[in-house]
Structures are given as structure tokens and as C-alpha cells.
Amino acid sequence: MCFVRCLIRRLGCFRVGAGGAPPHGCKFKIGWRAGLQAGAGVFKCRPMTSDAKGLSQLGQSAPIPTSPEQAVLERAPNPHKGTLYMARFTAPEFTSICPVTGQPDFGVLVIDYAPADWIVESKSLKLFLQSFRNHGAFHEDCTVGVAKRIVDTIAPTWLRIGGYWNPRGGMPIDVFWQTGAAPDGLWLPDQGVATYRARG
């Protein structure tokens, strides 16, 4: 039964009960989600909502900012406020430069957060991360600085970041930071980035 429920959720609608027919108006189309009808064993469909008011970059031509300070990180209302869940952003080609030598640094950033009132708008996050490509900073500064900028923007319930950097000077540097202990009940999968090891 759990498998069936999950499958129907993926299709966009979830119902339980003896009727066998979906709630009125539900066509099991993508773009619908379940809303619990209080006091009954039936989930009835409601349209998904997206509030894009105030977003200046999504759907527009937006140049890559010349620096992280110039980048505008934007937010949108959490469509599931009050629900404990985790969202993940992975930047597999994050690039910055060494502040001393000017040599390029490459790494993978994995950002996990539990939203409160706001979620991060992903295009603005992408542009913010791209703004580091000519920015001189140590690995620790880049990694923790990205996380703190997100925290300042959306004030999440919880956030963690893992910065997995390629070796520089013969030594890889991985950087980890979180706002505190993860909330009870939060599904927290492994970040999935292997510890660096030499070839062979």
C-alpha cells in the first residue's frame, strides 16, 4: 500500500479511502499535490503554488556578477511552510582563485537546508556561485561565506554545507559547516562526495 501511495504522489495526486475514485476535478496530472481534508481519510487535490513576485533574475537575461558582493541572492516564499523537509543544491564545478597566487581552485559544494519561511531562488544562487570564479579567497572563506550568505538571505531552520576541494599544493582541503544540530525527524542523506584519494 505504501508503494502505491508513493507512486500516486509522484503522479501528482494521493487519495485513500473506499471510494476508489479520485476527488472531483482531479485528473492525476503533474502539477497537483495532495491536501489533507481534516477529519476524513481522503486527500483532495489542490493546485501547486508558485510565488515569483519580486524576483528580478528568474526568466530574465542576467549577466554573471563580477564579484560575490555584487551578486544578488534572491528568495521566494516556502510553498510548504510548516513542513520539515530538506532541499539540496550541488555545485559540481565551483571555481574560485587563490588570493595569493591567482591560480584557479576547483571544488564541489553541497548545500543542504531545511527552509523556514523562505526558499532560495536557484537561478540567483547559480549566479552567486558563478561570481566566485574570479574571486580570490581561501577554501575555508569561500565555503563558509557561501553558507552564511544563504543564511542571511533566507534564515532557514537549519543549513549545512560541504566544500570538497581538489588538491592545491599537493593537499586537498575539505570544509564543513552547519548552523547547529539538525532538527529531529529531518531526513538527512549522505552528501555523496567521496573523500579524495590519489589515483590508483
Q: What is the DSSP letter of 194?
A: P
Tell me the sheet residues that pair with 187.
none
Residue labelled with grid coordinates 542576467: 62
Q: Would residue 184 show up in a list of annotated catalytic residues for this protein?
A: no
174 included as an active-site residue: no
Out of 13, 26, 45, 105, pick the active-site residue: 105
Tell me how far apart the alpha carbons of residues 176 and 14 are, in angstroms, rounded to a whole number: 38
Are 124 and 74 in contact by the 8 Å Cβ rule? The answer is yes
Compute the CA torsion angle 9, 10, 11, 16 (nearest 10 deg). Answer: -20
**What CA–CA distance (Å, rounded) separates 118 from 181?**
20
**Length of the chain as a residue count:** 200
Q: Longest Cα pair distance anywhere in the chain, in angstroms?
A: 69
Nearest Cα to 40, choosing from 20, 25, 18, 24?
18
User: What residues are labeled active site?
Assistant: 98, 105
